[in-house]
Amino acid sequence: MSDPKLTHLDDRGAANMVDVSAKQATVRIAVATGSVRMQQKTLDLIVSGNSKKGDVLATARIAGIMAAKRTHELIPLCHPLALSRIAVDIEPDGSLPGLTVTATAKLTGQTGVEMEALTAVSVACLTIYDMAKAADRGMTIGDIRLLEKQGGKSGHWIADKLEK
């Protein structure tokens, strides 16, 4: 990109939804990640499945999927998209200690699915916090970022491992 610009601003600087009608429909995939850091005993409680609120991981996974499908209602100027796939994976990570959330969004369409993957991760992380806050109010949510995108004019992009 020789002259990057914000695509949601018109020539006068007014915000508007990007017109994607002239774009070719292609398969588009985005992968995002994030984490919830917590005390080890909180991680153990979540992984054991003994939380008083129920299965934290299953609930967070469903919340992330539901959120991805409603991204256009949450983020101004996002297009409503017919997702063909949204997957949310949550893995314990003892080195944090905490949970790593990864979301993959996919469709065949005229615009990307980065925001849907990022929204899925964000809401899954928030759900984990909500369900475990009675045990650990000091949890932190962070490291939410796009890892990879495929499709469209810009092609295939993978985040640099050092990029944060």
Residues 94, 99, 100, 104: what is their CA dihedral angle, to the nearest 10 degrees?
140
3-state class (DSSP) for residue 40: helix
Residue with tokens 């469903």: 62
Q: What are phi and psi of 4, to 5 degrees?
A: -65, 145
**3: annotated active-site residue:** no
Residues 153, 4, 32, 28: what is their CA dihedral angle, to the nearest 10 degrees?
-10
CA 65 to chain centre: 9
Catalytic site residue from 44, 89, 93, 130: 130
Q: What residues are labeled active site?
A: 130
